[in-house]
Structure 1
């Protein structure tokens, strides 16, 4: 009797496993996870610090404003830098700066010298380094995996980002609530409340140091760059003109501005809603923020397992709509578990938005402009988020946070309609539309 050997072949692998077998991708994936973990911990801890010190929605909004203020100007140049210079060195330099700033904040809290402007300066620097690293990391992922595996790689990148978004705030909240007595016991002169922030910021510094260590293992292939040196402003102008001449790209950028101005600032006000509407402490507020990350993880995991997904724009718009609707439900529910579930659903929508945003940016642009397109996307984020965050903060100070967020979400839903009528986002296949534009 002839024996039959059963074995799995590469064809039977889900696309995600093919990407994960790539050592270079795994390294940059780990870096992205650690970086987002530390960033989300920092934002939760510093936002909670400001809220407890001032009890002001406007001051809380300023954390978001200063964090995104560098983007509109820097992102145009950082996209160009990503196209022209060594992407590994860019990522390493930004992480060194992040580590130094985290250590300074820890020292200021430990010595009871921290002031609001220190927090605003720290998140400003964090925003600047994120603007610097985003184009380099995302185009670096493309350099490693190639176009064929890009959707799956970016889905995994979304998973790494959402892992940080999910775990970081929860860890930050836990450290604030639990490490205070221990720190106060070992360091005389430090109160239990201050000790909680010292413990949380100490953990943030450790995560930054681990990120630096993992960065030494990252290898990004050197791709052939154009030998023609184009003046900076001309190069930037070419990128803007290309985006404006490509309906798929300008439609994506338009929706990006809407979402970052009218939807995503909600995340900054979760501590306010948690503390004042739901009456919970730092740990449960951290869990609320993690709820969005859980939803993003579910959505990204589903997309990472898909094959030949082509309707990127449709998923992008459906995700945007879900985020806006869930924002309205979240701010009015009086029940913690319902609020948590609503944020999970909103996180699934964010996953569709974020993954498809990056995919459209990469696939609709030629290789020598991809860094600039990611830079333009960051500019749109940087334009929308500070203005939207400031507007919500002012409205929240006047009318209350729930009314401010509801008004912004309703306006956002109305402004999504032109993208259905005037761009191919909802009905086009990304590769086909991009190919038709270039021919």
Structure 2
């Protein structure tokens, strides 16, 4: 339930001074007919082995008002911009509310219905709307103002979380009621997520997209480190309802910050119908080799990897005998690993390359799942979970940054809608599958099986390289 808002790294005056080529407004006589013909040339094919690999700087648009940034720059470089810092801190607070909510929702379901199928269904109900609606939502974000869309979705999410807090406080919540409200939250997120992801490249130089995505991951995972512990404290002191109330408050804070964002970019449909725009975005993703490999990489990782998020609350309760605070510590360890991994990710990617880095990160995550299946002592288990957090972050950050760089600006929200559809579909399918498997062979068996499957998919992923280099 990531609510991260797009972190601008340029001042409003700088945005308004961008040349027209940086905006979504089409050039007369060109964009109306050319995109469809461009689709046949979208796939650049494999790089010539006799020539140096294309660097990220070569892929960077010429921007007279935005300095080029080396991919070797610090992962924290965008924090030098005051406006970026404001948005990043706001996103950190928002993500903190997300993870406090996650702890409350997962633990609430274990109290309402502790079966593995129902516990896993909490995440499935959140991701199903994204499976079916992420692409249309991306088309919408390419056609109307992104700031207004973000404010609208934050308002919806504020109302849903406030209702969940009231129902939980008055003891009128049921297992199916929790799933229903979670589903409605998924409907809000299905518009929110592709919109803010598509806005990030609008606000940073192309060469800084990996750092921008990485900082978003740091914000998300830093909140994941702190949020579960705070969630456990709130549950112990005030009760489960307080986790949802805190999340509602953070939605209100995000709305306040978004109201200060002054955009100059103008969305335009270029005379195309909604369905023609949808087909155009899907066609690009289907025909471009890099985007196809990104989509496959998401499925190969998320389907087996979703077992952790689906069964972790039940694992903490039944295998370790821990309460909400112990579950919060486990989730915090995942976040801590992701924060540490994000801080060194640019150097690792430069040294090993994106493809080998993704394969190694997947293998690291798989090893953690296998270790968990043997129910080790907590002194060994928690470091394994920290490493799994680093593996999760490294894999998805690399795939997301590759997609952001590959997609052209006019198709970016639609392309990210396709990306999110694949991610959510893989998460929903994986959560449902591992919940059923855990019900049949136990939690340990599900973890062991998923770890073995991921070792296989990590090897398969090497056969489908990410040709857009992020590491030179």
Q: TM-score, normalized by length of structure 2? A: 0.79
Match of 2:336 in 1: 294
Q: Could you say if the C-alpha distance between residues 96 and 431 of structure 1 is closer, same or farther in structure 2, counting changes exceeding 3 Å? A: same
Q: Secondary structure at the match of 2:260?
A: coil
TM-superposition CA deviations, 1:192-217 (whole Å, max 9, x none):
xxxx2133333333333333333323
The within-5 A match list for 1:319-338 is 319-338=361-380
* Cα distance in structure 1, aligned partners of 2:75 and 2:470: 20
1:228 corresponds, among 246, 250, 270, to 270
* Cα distance in structure 1, aligned partners of 2:348 and 2:456: 31
> For structure 2, which runs of at least 5 residues remain unmatched after alignment?
1-67
- 1:392 Cα deviation (Å)? 0.9
- 1:411 Cα deviation (Å)? 2.1
* Cα distance in structure 2, aligned partners of 1:395 and 1:27: 44
Match of 1:200 in 2: 243
Match of 2:261 in 1: 218
* Cα distance in structure 2, aligned partners of 1:70 and 1:78: 11
TM-superposition CA deviations, 1:384-408 (whole Å, max 9, x none):
1111111111111121111112212
Q: Is the 2:106–2:119 Cα contact (8 Å) retained in structure 1?
A: yes
Q: Is the 1:102–1:204 Cα contact (8 Å) retained in structure 2?
A: yes
Count of paired positions: 404
Q: Could you say if the C-alpha distance between residues 307 and 335 of structure 1 is closer, same or farther in structure 2, counting changes exceeding 3 Å? A: closer
The within-5 A match list for 1:233-248 is 233-248=275-290
> For structure 1, which runs of at least 5 residues remain unmatched after alignment?
1-9, 181-195, 434-439
Let me know the Cα RMSD of the aligned residues. Answer: 2.6
* Cα distance in structure 1, aligned partners of 2:91 and 2:69: 28
Match of 1:341 in 2: 383
Q: Is the 2:134–2:421 Cα contact (8 Å) retained in structure 1?
A: yes
Match of 1:190 in 2: none
* Cα distance in structure 2, aligned partners of 1:21 and 1:101: 36
Q: Could you say if the C-alpha distance between residues 429 and 277 of structure 1 is closer, same or farther in structure 2, counting changes exceeding 3 Å? A: same
Q: Is the 1:48–1:282 Cα contact (8 Å) retained in structure 2?
A: yes
Q: Is the 2:229–2:325 Cα contact (8 Å) retained in structure 1?
A: yes
- 1:174 Cα deviation (Å)? 1.9
TM-superposition CA deviations, 1:45-98 (whole Å, max 9, x none):
111111123221111011011011101111101211222221111111111111
Q: Secondary structure at the match of 1:19?
A: helix
Structure (1 or 2) with the greater helix fraction: 1
Match of 1:351 in 2: 393
Q: Could you say if the C-alpha distance between residues 307 and 278 of structure 1 is closer, same or farther in structure 2, counting changes exceeding 3 Å? A: closer
The within-5 A match list for 1:353-392 is 353-392=395-434
Q: TM-score, normalized by length of structure 1? A: 0.85
Match of 2:448 in 1: 406
Q: Is the 2:198–2:413 Cα contact (8 Å) retained in structure 1?
A: yes
Match of 1:430 in 2: 469
2:234 corresponds, among 170, 175, 183, to 175
